[in-house]
Amino acid sequence: MKVVLPLFIIVIVGLAAYLIQKAIRSSKETELSGPEAYGQECERLVYGLMRSNLPSKSVFQNLYFPVAKDGRTLWTETDTVCVTRGGVIAVEVKGAKGVIEDPPEGDWTQRYGEKVLSFHNPYEQNKGHVIAVKKALARDGISGVPVYNVVVFTDRNARFTNKYPWLMHAEKAVDFATLLDDKPVLDKKMIKAVREALSDYTERRAPTAAMQYR
């Protein structure tokens, strides 16, 4: 009995710890459900594809750059940034499905079944990210590096009413990046400098949500 009782206590404590961890995981999964979780999943997909086709240290996810607005310093978050021998790519990721009405100016519209949703023009949105990347490089004394504005939709069945060279599905974005990497503009020294400059803005230095600006 003296041996059985401690074993019983150990089993009970272990079971309690397991149930607590399971509850915590379940809580986190609930917090990340819905549109936000779907958006993060799409961003991870593009990030993973780029890392599979470019050197992993050349692909960044969730970089935060300072932006001056109304006399305050806010922060803008990029989805994915890739450093290639042909320049830097700032990628804005969208997961919208169906028919995408994409005028060159103004909001875009998603039509999927009976659903009609408007959203901010992602190319215009990403212009701010491109500027932020250029300013970040300039702060490290780096200039003359091409920075490309690319909008990527992860749903293969998304159809666009207008076609642009900077608008593409995820697979085409990989092709774009690898082709750009095959057209060297930056030498090894410059590529290293660009990587190091961008690494100063990684998620480990992420600002509070209240300070973010997209």
Going by C-alpha positions, the residue among 95, 110, 88, 2 that lies closest to residue 46 is 95
Neighbour-count burial for 76-91, b at 16+ CB within 10 Å, e otherwise: bbbbbbbbbbbbbbbb
> CATH assignment of 33-211?
3.40.1350
Instruction: pLDDT tens for the chain, 214 residues: list them.
Output: 555 555 556 556 555 555 545 444 444 433 333 444 566 899 999 999 999 999 999 999 999 998 887 888 888 999 999 999 999 999 999 999 999 999 999 999 999 888 899 999 999 999 999 999 999 999 999 999 999 999 999 999 899 999 999 999 999 999 999 999 999 999 999 999 999 999 999 865 555 544 555 5
**Distance (Å, rounded) from C-alpha 13 to C-alpha 55?**
45
| Confidence (pTM) | 0.77
Write down the domain spans for the chain.
Answer: 1-31, 33-211
Residue 94, beta-bridge partner list: 153
